[in-house]
Structure formats: C-alpha cells, structure tokens
A and B are shown apart, each in its own frame.
Chain A
Amino acid sequence: MSRLKNRKARGILDQITRPMVVFELIIMLLCALAVFCYNMKVSLDQRFDTTTQIAEEAVNTLTEYKSIDFLVDYWHENYEQMEFIYDDPEALNAKEMQFSELYPRIPDTELVTSEQAREMDAETQRLFAEICYSHLSTSFDRIKRSFDTMFLYGFIIEGDDMFFIITGTLEDESRISSGGDLFELGYAYPYSRGRYPTLDQLLDTGVPSDHIELSLRADREAVHVFAPVTVNGSPVMYIGVSTQWKDIMDYTLLLSLFLAAIIAVLLATLLVIFFRIINRIAVRPLVKETSIVKEYEANKDSKKATAELGEIRSDNEIEELADAFSSMLSDLESYMEEIRVATADKERLGAELDMAASIQSSQLPSTFPAFPGRNEFSIFASMTPAKTVGGDFYDFFLIDDDHIALVMADVSGKGVPASLFMMISKLLIKNSLQNGKSPAEALTDTNKQLTENNEAKQFVTVWLAVIEISTGKGIAANAGHEHPVLRRAGKDYELVEYKHSVPVATLKKAKFSEHEFELHPGDSLFVYTDGVPEATNAGDELFGNDRMLVALNKNPAAGPRLILKTVKDSVDEFVGEAEQFDDLTMLCFRYNGPESGAKDE
C-alpha cells in the first residue's frame, strides 16, 4: 500500500515539476538577457556622453590657446628640434623665465595670437612652442586621469597617416620614446578607413557622430569619440578619446546574473509554495483516498470507508471524487447484498433442480436384469440427462404374467415443469395399462386427464406397446413420437414408419389409434427420443436417423445392453466436445420366444 502511495505522490508532483523548472529557466534567462541588453544600452549611451564631454574638454583646453593653429603647424614641422618637458616643473619654470625675458609683451602664453607668434624670432618661437606643448601635455594628462580615460590624444591627418600631436599619459604609462606604447608627437600611424567609422564620418562630413555603434572585436572594446579642433570654422587638428566599456559589460553581466539569481530564488520559492498547495489540496487527499480504497478492498468495510471518505475536505474535484466513490461504495454494498440473496436463491434452486433430476431418474426402472428368471425376453433402457432436468422418460413393467408394457415418451420443454408433467404422464399411462386398457385407450385416458387443466400448454409424445410374452403378439400406439426401429431375426434394424396420432395433451378430443404387430424369437425393438437423432456436433450437424441405423447395424445381433452402448458411443463420437441440449433416452427389447432358455445377457 505504501509503495503505491509514494509512487502516486511522486507522479503528480513530478509531472508538474519538470515543465515548471524548464519554464522557470526560460523566464530566468529571458529576464537576464533583457536586463543585460537594456543596461548595456543605457550604460553605453552614458559612456558615449561622458566620452564626448572629455573630447569637448580637450577641445576647449586646446582652443584656449589663441595661437593653436600656429602651434599645431609648428609642432608638426619642428618636433625633431623641440625639447619636450614632461612632468618637470622646474625645467618648465626655467623655460618660462627665459621666454618672459625674450617676450615680455604678453605674460600669458594662451593669449598670444598666431600673428604675434609668427612674428617671433626662431628661438622665441621654439621656446613658446615648447612651453605651450608642456602646458597642454599636462592638461591632457590631468583630463585623462580625472576621467579614467583609456586614450586621449590629438592628431592631424597627413596623407594616409594619423600624425600624432599630443597624448595624455598617466603616471603608470610610458610614451614610445620612454619605451612604452603610447604614441607621442611625431608618431605617424597608418590609418585605414573603416577602422573607426566615427572618425571616417567626421573626416567626410566635418560633423562628429552623435551616437556609437558597438564593435565587439577584442581590440576595440572601447567607445571611440572624435572631435575637431576648429579655428575660424576649419579644423586644425582632431581629438580622439577612447573609453573602455569592458568594465560596463562586466558590471552588466554581473548585474544580470544577480538578477537572474534573484528571479530563480523567487520562482523556486513560488514553486515550493505551489507544490505545498498541490500537495495539500490534491496529492494528500488522493493518497488518503487510495489508502481508504485499498483498505476497503482488504476488509470490505464500506461503513468505515464511507465515513473516512466523508472526511476528505479538499473543496475541489477530489472531494467530489471521494463523494462519488462513497456513494458508489454504498451502491456496491446494496448490489452485493442483492447478489448474495440472488446467489443463495440460485443455489437453492440449483439444489432443488438437482433433487428434481434425481427424483425424476429414480422414477425410471434402472435395475438390470429387470426381470430375473424371465428368459423369454431381454430388455435394457437408459437415460443420459442433458444439463437441465428434461422431460424424457421410458418405462416398462409387467401388466400381468404374460403381458409386458413398453413406454418411450418425451415431454415438450425442459426443467421442472417438464419433469412434473413427465411424472404425471408416466403415472397416468401406467395406471391405465395396469387397469387393463389397450394402448390407444390408455393414451386417450391420459390425454383426457392431462388436457383438463393444462395451463402450461405442454404435451408429450408417447410410443407405447403391450406385448403378449407367450405369443410375441403386440399392440402399439404412437402419439407423435419418433419412429420405432425393428429388427427381424438375422436381418438389419429398420425404421418402421406409419402415420402417428397426435401427441398427448395437445387436443382435448384427440383420437389415438393403435395397431397390432408380431414379434418372433430373435426380433428386437429399439425405441428412443429425439435426443438421439438430434444430437448435434460442433458443426451444427445432426446425428440423424441414418447414423443411428448404421450404429444399430454395426452389430445387430448384440443384446439390448450392448446395442444401447453402441448407439451411445456412436453419438458421443459424433458429438465430440459440443454441448448437448437434450436427454439421450433409449430402450431396446429383444424377444427370445416362450421356449427360450437364453439368459438376459
């Protein structure tokens, strides 16, 4: 029982769990993906804005120098003669002192115009360019540091090259000249179109891109923004800013995973709650129902089962099922009671029928030899009843010392009514004959008695004969019965066909005829009921009179007992396994003659 319980409980939850878990995983992945995409987009837009701001900051820093166009040209053409001062305030200070001595007109280098710069002598120009470069370099370093930028640089386009002018450098980075990898003034980097679409656009149209398109290639996990430095509307150089977005991706990925985890936990919790509810409202009541039913199966205590089923309160279909089951059990109980009664009735009836059958067969003379000491004839008869009580009967008795009566009859129908009718018929016939009536008179008497109150509309076919033992002369009557079979001594058995009277109990005023016949020593009479010719095999074939005659003539000289056995064996062989509907009743009488000393075999 417990095995069944577990299996069932696991079944339902299992069936729900699998799709739910798959569903949960899909939801989780979709949420994570949505969060990832959204966050990437927002963050990248922010990063683009920031990067654009950095570029603007750099552009502003450069354009504060009124002579920026001059400076760019100068740096470009004279970088090889220039002395670069990076991060050396004292050296810078010395140069500034030197410059202010040489060019005292304008103390602030930013305010020097291009025209003024061009008018300087070569030495002053170089000093001026070096000081400005140093200042701007420091500014770029500062901008790069404060915005955590990946690259910040200024360049001009010279043919197919990006000619680097200025590059922001952090403390832990080195310029190419110091063995590092940051390009610096004078470095020409071959540029191929397509590498930076935003730069291509800027160069083509003069307008910076206002959005970015992501490229996930490993060397470009960065946002690249380019901005022009313009003087009087024409670009003198370009600023390039690259900020990495790998950190955004890492962050976003982490955020998405975190969110996915939260969703997973939430859904799992939901699932557990769901399972508990299912368990409470469905699985447990079902398990209980199963165990109640199992218990009922074992002890058939429907009251207990009904009471327990009534306790199931799940307020859903399972409760309905329990109720339905409960009423079914009550119905079952009453049906079973009915069946018990019916079965008892049937058994009693069966027993009574058996008794009827045994009473019926005990009515038939069944002791053989029937008349020990009477050697003038030998007689043998048998009835093999079919399943139910039938209406066949035979009879033979001595009316007086010199007369023997033979009766073979078949009552219509089967069962107890037929058997009762048979007993009455048998008694009436015997009575009449013993009162000295002839066969036809006996049948008329019997018919009169039977038709007086024959509600069941039964009738009986009768062949009967009275034989004078001393002479072999007989009188026979046939009321609708099968043809008798006669064998003259030394010959074969043959059917004796003649017109019969109507069966007994069919018509109130029926007339019965009789006829005389004579038996000679060695002659035999065989009479039977329709159970013999109408014995049926599995192929629905009837045994028939012809087969019966063949059986009789297998050994025609045999005595009555053997004759009956031969016929019976033939019928059995013919019928095989098929079920028999009718009784098999036969009687054989052999006349040996008055002088015969032959014994009944």
Chain B
Amino acid sequence: METKLNKEGTKLTIEIAGRLDTLTAPEFEKEVEPALDGITDLTIDLKDLEYISSAGLRALLGLAQTMEDKGQMKVTNPNDAVMDVFSVTGFDDILNIV
C-alpha cells in the first residue's frame, strides 16, 4: 500500500494505491490522521486501490466520521471490485462516492 497526500490550503487529496487491509490499514491511519488538521475538504482517490478489506473500510469510515464535524469528504474512482465491496457492506450509503 502506498499513500500520496496532496494538500492545498484546507483541501486535501489522498491517493491510495495497492491493498488496504488488516496489515496496511493501521499504517494508513497513522499517515493520514496528522494531515487532517485544518482540513475541510477531503478527497479520497481510489483509482489505484486494488483491494479493500473490512479493516480498510473501518479506516475510511474513521475518516468519514472525523470529517463529519469538520467539513466534507468524498471518495472518487473506486474500481469495480472495490465498489462491489462498498455496496455489499452498505458502505455506499455511508461514503459520499462520486
């Protein structure tokens, strides 16, 4: 898993590549959390995300919950496999997928 953070003022784009699962989710959370200070517009770009597990879903949900109070968060470009996971787990209702 690789994450790329792109910060522009209060706007942050996070690109996630590879697998987001039990092994990589804690690392992802550790990398992203400190960057959220003062962010009101968060975009999670999943175009290079190959696989997401429940741990990965938790990480995304954690971000969504954090952003609930601070501004908005949207998820972009999930591939079909990832989108299937979102819909099967009901996460498509929670996350703002565009």
Q: Interface on A for B, CB 8 Å cutoff?
A: 410, 412-413, 457, 459, 461, 479-480, 482-483, 497-503, 506-507, 510, 530, 533-534, 536, 540, 542, 581-582
Contact = CB atoms under 8 A, between A and B. Distances in A.
Chain B interface helix/strand/loop/mixed: helix
10 contacts: A457-B62, A459-B61, A480-B90, A502-B89, A503-B61, A506-B65, A506-B94, A530-B54, A534-B21, A542-B21
B90 A457 contact: no
B39 to A, nearest CB: 17
Contacts of A501: 90, 93
A498 B90 CA distance: 10
Given A459-B58, A582-B22, A499 B65 contact: no
A311 B61 CA distance: 65
A499 B22 contact: no
A501 B91 CA distance: 8
Contact of A500 (B62, B65, B88): B88
A542 B56 CA distance: 14
Nearest to A497: B88
B5 interface: no
Interface in B69-98: 87-91, 93-94
B36 interface: no
A128 B76 CA distance: 149
Nearest to A529: B54
Interface string B26-61: 000000000000000000000000000111011001
Given A530-B54, A534-B22, A500 B66 contact: no
A530 B53 contact: yes
Contacts of B54: 410, 461, 480, 482, 530, 534
Given A503-B61, A581-B22, A582-B22, A480 B89 contact: yes
A506 B89 CA distance: 12
A503 B22 contact: no
B22 A530 contact: yes
B53 A480 contact: no
Given A502-B94, A534-B54, 19 more contacts: A410-B54, A412-B58, A412-B62, A457-B66, A480-B89, A497-B88, A498-B88, A499-B88, A499-B90, A500-B88, A503-B61, A503-B90, A506-B61, A530-B22, A530-B54, A534-B22, A534-B53, A542-B21, A581-B22
Contacts of B94: 502, 506-507
Contacts, number: 62
B58 to A, nearest CB: 5
A483 B55 CA distance: 15
A534 B55 contact: yes
A501 B62 CA distance: 17
Nearest to A540: B23
Nearest to B59: A412
Nearest to A535: B22
B69 to A, nearest CB: 10
Given A530-B53, A581-B22, A483 B88 contact: yes
Contacts of B89: 461, 480, 500, 502-503
Contacts of B55: 530, 534
B49 to A, nearest CB: 16
Contacts of A482: 54
A189 B93 CA distance: 138
Nearest to A530: B54
Contacts of B87: 499
A412 B61 contact: yes
Contacts of B57: 480
Nearest to B64: A506
Contact of B91 (A483, A498, A502, A582): A502
A581 B54 CA distance: 14
Contacts of A412: 58, 61-62
Contacts of B65: 457, 506
A326 to B, nearest CB: 41
The 3 closest A-B pairs by CB, nearest first: A502-B90, A457-B65, A480-B89
B80 to A, nearest CB: 15
A259 B53 CA distance: 95
A576 to B, nearest CB: 16
**Most central of B22, B23, B57 by chain A CB within 10 Å:** B22
A13 B23 CA distance: 60
B93 A502 contact: yes
A459 B22 CA distance: 16
Contacts of B23: 536, 540, 581
Q: Which of B55, B62, B65, B90 has the most CB of A within 10 A?
A: B90
